[in-house]
Amino acid sequence: MRLIYEKTDITGSVEFSRCVYREADSRAGLLEIELENAKAWARWGAKAGDRVEVTESEFSTGALYLLETEPEEGAFMIRASALPEAARARAWRSYEGMTLQEIVDGCAVESGTDWAMHGLDGGLRYEYIVREQMGCAAFVQALLTKECATLLCRNGKLHAIGYEYAQTLPAAMVIQVNAGDDGARHSKRDGCKLRRKALCVDGARIEAEDTAVAGDAEYTYPFHSASDVATAGRWARGLLYAHNRAQEALELDGEFNPAMAALARMDVAGAEATAGRWMVGEVEHDLIEMATRATLRRCIDSIR
């Protein structure tokens, strides 16, 4: 394992006792390191915003931004985020007549990062939406959730990614899961899934439906900022997707697996209850214990 600080390999100068990297499809990646020799780290004069990176064989956290260092009984606790601090600065702003592409671009400029869009129509235009005391990244994440998408920050670059696009990508690997396997836990809350979600615009009720859900459970949003039927329809789909996606999870504990990354597609074979197409929702890599814990979410193709 190597620790890169401001493009300098300082691995030989530090002693790791803990190194954990967490990533989720709706939260910035977070690195936590504990170094035994506090003096060895302190001499580098690290400060918030400096860049750090951890690599292990073919795995890399990518460039991360130092959040804080805390001396603790001769050791140093270090935390670094994939998201620059500027992206967290809260502000009030309004966006009138702007496209999705322009809003994401503005977030990247405010964050001091580059950006890319995958599987989304950047030309979608919003009549008027408001960012209310939110960091730009949190605001874009909330907007993308309504558009059935998410925001990832990797190696200093923002990626706006459509969930339905990510579902079509080839599987990174095939995972065998059998009933009773150690390290595999499947949870499914069908009773919490909704058949429909709806938004009302100009006196019309615009709804999305999950045809795979039995029953008639539904929810209508009393307050929202969708100003036209097309936007309301997309947002109803995105919000229904997000809700129903959260109701089923496959948790896997095992040996270190660098293929497990947020939004990576996985094919699961074996037990009937878990077989099928999944995406990684959350992952934790412990680079000392060489272990990976991942939470997978099932792909959904049934929302209309």
- 18, β-bridge pairs: 34
Residues sharing a CB contact under 8 Å with residue 296, sequence separation 6 or more, in sequence order: 249, 250, 251, 252, 266, 268, 278, 279, 280, 281
Q: How far is Cα 250 from Cα 144, in angstroms, rounded to an integer?
A: 24
DSSP class per residue in the chain: -EEEETTEE-GGG--EEEEEEEEETTEEEEEEEEES-HHHHHTT---TT-EEEEEETTEE--SEEEEEEEEETTEEEEEEESS-GGGG--EEEEEEEEEHHHHHHHHHHHHT-EEEEESS-TT-EEEEEEEEEE-HHHHHHHHHHHTTEEEEEETTEEEEEEHHHHHTSPPSEEEEE-TT-TTEEEEE-GGG--SEEEEEETTEEEEEEBTTS-S--EEEESS----SHHHHHHHHHHHHHHHHHTTEEEEEEEE--TT--TT-EEEEEESTTT-EEEEEEEEEEETTTTEEEEEEEE----B-
Question: What phi and psi, each to the nearest 5 degrees, are found at residue 237?
Answer: -65, -45
Q: Name the burial class of residue 79, with classes exposed (0-12), middle (13-18) and buried (19+) by CB atoms within 10 angstroms of its CB.
A: middle
Q: String of b and e for 187-215 (b: at least 16 CB within 10 Å)? A: eeeeeebbbbbbbebeeeebbbbbeebee
Tens of pLDDT, residues 70-94: 776 777 889 999 999 999 999 999 9
Domain at 86-162, CATH class: alpha beta
Tens of pLDDT, residues 203-254: 899 999 999 999 999 999 998 999 999 999 999 999 999 999 999 999 999 9
Tens of pLDDT, residues 154-212: 999 999 999 999 999 999 999 999 988 999 999 999 999 999 999 999 889 999 999 99
Tens of pLDDT, residues 265-292: 999 999 999 999 999 999 999 999 999 9
Tens of pLDDT, residues 92-115: 999 999 999 999 999 999 999 999
Contact 281, 25 (CB under 8 A): yes
pLDDT at 85: 94
pLDDT at 179: 83
Q: How far is Cα 185 from Cα 217, in angstroms, rounded to an integer?
A: 27
CA proximity to 65, closest of 131, 117, 137, 12: 137
pTM above 0.75, yes or no: yes
Terminal C-alpha separation, the chain: 46
